[in-house]
Amino acid sequence: MEDHGNRKIAVEKYFSVPQEMDELYKKHSVPVVLPDAPYFVEETQDNARRIEEFASSIEEKLKIRFDAVISCALCKSNSGSIVITKPEIVNGKASEDMSEGTRLAAYINANARRSILINAPGGGANKLKILFVNDCDMPIQVSINVKEKGALNLFEYYASVAKSGSIMAPLHEVRTMEGSNVEISILHNENEHTKVVSLIKGEALDDSKLSMNFIYNGAIETKAINILSSNGDGSRIHVNEIVYGSGDQKFDINTYIANSKPRSQALLESGAVLDGNSLCILKGFADINKWTRGAKSKITQRGILASENAHIDALPDMKIDYSDEVSATHSAATSPIDKEALFYLNSRGIPEDEARKLFISAFAMKYMMNISEPFALELASSIVLGRIEGREFGSLPELSSKGIWMPVSTSR
Amino acid sequence: MKLELKDLRVSIEEKEVVKGVNLKVNQGELHVIMGPNGSGKTTLAKTIMGHPQPKVIGGEILADGKSILGLKPNERAKLGLFLEFQSPTEIEGLGLVSFLNTAKGAITGSRPSFKEFMQEIKENAEKLALKEDLIGRSLNFGFSGGEKKKAEILQMAVLKPKIAILDEPDSGLDVDAVKIVAENVNALMKMHGMGAILITHYSRIINYMNPDVIHVMKDGIMVKEGGRDLIREVEEKGYNI
């Protein structure tokens, strides 16, 4: 048995965050209706071949090779660092009286057919790319464990072949041991038949760094609950979220960051561009615990409304239990596209429609610039720029980095 | 290009700000507009460039004899007009080079090759004593006041307008920077025959330049015009002339 996998999970309060009980948070929520029993495709050769062909077509188009392909019909790993197992035992069953996060976690743990274990050994750099293909309801466990002084750069790309309503539901547990450096970039590009329920629980131990980049782009509805804690002295957590919504897409992104030890950092930057009739709820909660001298916590939420019918609710919040040499700030701002900025771009010869796209892509780019893995950055940029050009979510554009001359740095 | 304002009247939120301005500027000429705060200079500059807020309530703006009042700002830029902003907009995430390349492509109809374009930008940045690392940054984002002004002149040098409207290019600049900006504007006028309308409060920048006409604007109208003597008169008496 792997040391970090196949564990029994106590369901009670497993995935609850304090803000769930807040009336404001309850009011601003996209409810998730879970099926009584998930629908799974059969693991037949035909279905597996279909996923194999789909994965190959993506690899060919992107000119890369994924280290693992994960779906219901096909699960394969080409890397010794990625182990695919069946979950052994999971306690509990989702019920209505549970908190939302715990209910969703219970659903995933009770129904997961696969457990993905990602190990990054210490003392070396590891780069991994995983393709998740949503071919039916997909509750799945992903456990990531980075050893002491280890380094991991993980890119997860989520696509969909589902032709009728299905739920892509990954539950991640991430643990970064002492002195490790981890960056995880998760790009959702599922189609309109897919809903996403994404749960992430992560902790960074002493002097380790955990950077999470989320690109919420695909799926008709997304519910995300991210619980990330700086649990070690000098540990750093940096969460970077960008949402691009259009049509009738709905996003409910709930991110909880915590400082639990001295000199720890927990930063959350969220940006959302909403077009059409789309809706995004950004909930950011920072929790600074006792005895955290020198801790730093920051939440920044920014939104752009690209149409009159789009809607963003930005809800930044903090709980500070210690006030000695602690830095804590939060802010939120949402606005339509800045007319003065548009005039500036127009005055340089750039037509209004192109100026508008340039402004939106610049906004998105400042979040995506945090992705350090070049391929992940290129793909994420291409997909979001494609959306800005009017491409539907769920499709895969040509990589367009040659057309993007990005700023080298966004700060002084 | 010949830019002509004929009895131009402009209002902002129902208040008349520009009250009948006449001005003729040919390529290669330098016209200076001085005037106290609130006299309508910046509104005039924005109106020429087609800002959506000021409303033209009378008169005409002509380029080579044709009205440009119906043209959008980008169409005016394509004709050869350029506005150097008093407070340039910061756009984080939009690379300066990317932006300029897009602008150049929009104005000329084709985007230049990356290598040649970068070379042109670097050469102009050097002339402006603009730090090279600014080129790799987001448009005006985190630039100091002086860097923003110089970056505006850099854009002008790359886009090569026929007539530029410079809205206080000297404000917030130190003595050396004022001289550098003036010299670069002079060079563009000499090399490309650019005409310019320079809006300023101070004579300092004009000392490095050769204006054809000095105009004094007050309460929405041009109250006086003349040569360098007029600058001395303003310095001595203020705008009560």
B125-175 pLDDT, tens digit each:
999 999 888 888 999 999 999 999 999 999 999 999 999 999 999 998 999
Is A369 part of the contact surface with chain B (CB cutoff 8 Å)? yes
Instruction: Map chain B to HEC letters.
Output: CEEEEEEEEEEECCEEEEEEEEEEEECCCEEEEECCCCCCHHHHHHHHHCCCCCEEEEEEEEECCEECCCCCHHHHHHHCEEEECCCCCCEEEEEHHHHHHHHHHHHHCCCCCHHHHHHHHHHHHHHCCCCHHHHHEEECCCCCHHHHHHHHHHHHHHHCCCEEEEECCCCCCCHHHHHHHHHHHHHHHHHHCCEEEEEECCCCCHHHCCCCEEEEEECCEEEEEECHHHHHHHHHHCCCC
Is A223 part of the contact surface with chain B (CB cutoff 8 Å)? no
Reading the block at residue B116, the tokens are 């040649």
Residue A61, in any domain of the structure: yes
Residue A25, in any domain of the structure: yes
- Kindly provide the ipTM of the predicted complex, given to two decimals: 0.97
- The rounded mean pLDDT for chain B is 95
Average the pLDDT over B23-49 and give the result.
Answer: 97
Q: Is it the case that residue A14 has pLDDT exceeding 90?
A: no
Query: A360 vs chain B: nearest CA distance in angstroms?
Result: 9
- The rounded mean pLDDT for chain A is 90
Give the residue among A355, A379, A353, A212 at the shortest CA–CA distance from B94.
A355
CA distance A215 to A190: 12
Only one residue has tokens 């920072």, namely: A286
Higher pLDDT, A362 or A86: A362
- Check residue A406 and give its pLDDT: 55
Q: How many domains does chain A have?
A: 1
What is the domain range of residue A270? 18-336
Residues 6+ apart with CB under 8 A from A368: A213, A215, A242, A377, A380, A381, A384
Residue A312, in any domain of the structure: yes
Residue A186, in any domain of the structure: yes
Q: Under an 8 A CB cutoff, do B93 and A407 touch? A: yes
Alpha-carbon A228 to chain mean position: 12
**Closest chain A CA to residue B81:** A347
- Check residue A15 and give its pLDDT: 74
Domains in chain B and their CATH numbers?
2-237 (3.40.50.300)
Residue A30, in any domain of the structure: yes
What angle (nearest 5°) sits at the alpha carbon of residue A321, between those of residues A287 and A295? 65
Residue A365, in any domain of the structure: no
Residue A80, in any domain of the structure: yes
Dihedral sign, CA of A60, A64, A68, A69?
A: negative
CB distance A394 to A160 below 8 Å: yes
Quote the percentage of chain A above a pLDDT of 90: 74
Is A402 part of the contact surface with chain B (CB cutoff 8 Å)? no
Average the pLDDT over A169-179 and give the result.
Answer: 95
Mutate to test the interface with A, among B47, B49, B94 (most CBs of A within 10 A): B94
Q: Under an 8 A CB cutoff, do B52 and A406 touch? A: no
Is B67 part of the contact surface with chain A (CB cutoff 8 Å)? no
Is A345 part of the contact surface with chain B (CB cutoff 8 Å)? yes
Query: B124 vs chain A: nearest CA distance in angstroms?
Result: 18
Q: Is it the case that residue A410 has pLDDT exceeding 50?
A: no
Residue A272, in any domain of the structure: yes
Query: B231 vs chain A: nearest CA distance in angstroms?
Result: 30
Average the pLDDT over A227-244 and give the result.
Answer: 97
Q: Is it the case that residue A125 has pLDDT exceeding 50?
A: yes
Question: Could you say which DSSP state residue A26 is in?
Answer: H
Q: Under an 8 A CB cutoff, do A347 and B72 touch? A: no
Q: Is it the case that residue A333 has pLDDT exceeding 70?
A: yes
- Check residue A6 and give its pLDDT: 44
Q: Which residues of A touch B159 (CB under 8 A)?
A: 348-349
